[in-house]
Amino acid sequence: MGIQERKIREFEQRGQEILDAALSLFGSDDWEQVTVEQIAKKSEVGKGTIYKHFESKNEIYVRLAIRFQKRMASEIGLLDQSMPVLDRLRCYIRAAWEMHLSSKELHRVFMFCSRAEFRAQLPSNLLTEMQEAESRVSIFTHQLMVEGIEQGLFPNKPINLLIFGLQSMFWGAIQLIWSGYLGDIDHEQHLEEVTSFMIAGLVHHNQPIPQTKD
């Protein structure tokens, strides 16, 4: 490896170390108030070094969100695409569940970067890069819905509506857990319960609801 290649590798490594340091500071409820100075101190570098790697604190958020999306895409990329649609959907939900529960800090950053008002502040190149990382995951979801509709498993409705129902239940479950409202729970048991509700709702939600007698 030449000197230039080594310098590039070391620069990239330092950038990842800064991201790790920043993430470690995002554990408290006022995590959005963490400053670049605090990140620099945690990283054991000068503030100027932070700005050599990242143009702003917003870019630090985005880079962490992109890291999350790439990890998610890698996980679902390992799924056996020959599995039946519902089995793949179960595996996909599990992968997303485990990712979002692996780090409260990373989940917070991911959700923060999903807000429209945050994205409106981003330079176009950074927004595009984040959207490209997200698309690697959304393409998988879209394909699952298409296959399910074609096989008659899911209602023939706009895919964005089908995904909306799944996302609503999934995000609600994750938020309940991270809020502490549920206390100490069995994550595996709750995953199975949420997954069953999500799939049942997706498959059967077009069926008429029985009317109760007065």
Tell me the average pLDDT across 119-142: 94
Q: Which pLDDT score is estimated for 6?
A: 82
pTM (2 d.p.): 0.87
Instruction: Spell out the long-range contacts of 50-54 with Cβ–Cβ below 8 A and sequence spacing 24 or more.
Output: 50/18, 53/11, 53/14, 53/15, 53/18, 54/15, 54/18
Span(s) in the chain for CATH 1.10.10.60 = 1-54
Tell me the average pLDDT across 80-92: 93
Alpha helices in the chain (DSSP H): 3-24, 36-43, 47-53, 57-77, 85-102, 104-113, 116-119, 124-150, 159-179, 187-204
CATH class of the structural domain 61-204: mainly alpha
Residue 214 clears pLDDT 60, i.e. is over it = no
Q: pLDDT by residue (tens digit) across 68-80?
A: 999 999 999 899 9
Span(s) in the chain for CATH 1.10.357.10 = 61-204
Residue pair 117/40 in contact by the 8 Å Cβ criterion: no
Looking at every residue in the chain, the average pLDDT score rounds to 91
CATH architecture observed for domain 1-54: Orthogonal Bundle (1.10)
Q: Please state, as a whole number, how many other Cβ atoms lie within 10 Å of the Cβ of residue 72.
A: 22
Token output for 90:
């179960």
Token output for 86:
């519902």
Residue 146 clears pLDDT 80, i.e. is over it = yes
Residue 169 clears pLDDT 60, i.e. is over it = yes
Residue pair 28/70 in contact by the 8 Å Cβ criterion: no
Q: Lowest mean pLDDT: which of 102-111, 142-151, 177-186?
A: 177-186
Residue 1 clears pLDDT 70, i.e. is over it = no
Token output for 205:
């939600």
Q: Which pLDDT score is estimated for 2?
A: 77
Q: pLDDT by residue (tens digit) across 30-66?
A: 999 999 999 999 999 999 999 999 999 999 999 999 9
Cα distance between residue 196 and residue 192, in whole Å:
6
Tell me the average pLDDT across 125-136: 94
Residue 101 clears pLDDT 80, i.e. is over it = yes
Tell me the average pLDDT across 132-141: 92
CA 164 and chain centroid, separation? 15
Token output for 129:
């890069």
Q: Which pLDDT score is estimated for 28?
A: 87
